Amino acid sequence: MNIGFGILIFVLGLVIGLVIGFFVARNSMKSYLAKNPPISEEMMKSMMMSMGQKPSQKKLNQMMAQMKQQSEQSQKK
């Protein structure tokens, strides 16, 4: 009886730890990506140049604003 109870406590602790760990990791990853977006303005500029487009500052600002808007919409869902 003691061994079964010990195993049950261990399994419950493991499951609870995994659930809490998942949500903490998810929250920290969201905040990290919000502070450090995966694509910067320089990366966008080099991508446009490699595609044969001459990027203007206005176009870069529009694309960055659009990406920010999309990320905010996905966070609301």
pLDDT tens sequence for the chain (77 residues): 699 999 999 999 999 999 999 999 999 998 898 888 788 888 888 888 899 888 888 988 888 888 888 877 877 76
Helix (H) or strand (E) segment spanning residue 30: helix 2-35
With contact defined as beta carbons under 8 Å apart, do 45 and 55 qualify?
A: yes
Q: Give the pLDDT confidence of 42-58 residue by residue, as tens digits.
A: 888 888 889 988 888 89
- Residue 1: what pLDDT? 67
Q: What share of the chain is helix, strand, coil (3-state, %, to 5)?
A: 85, 0, 15
Under 8 Å CB-to-CB from 33, ≥6 apart: which residues? 71
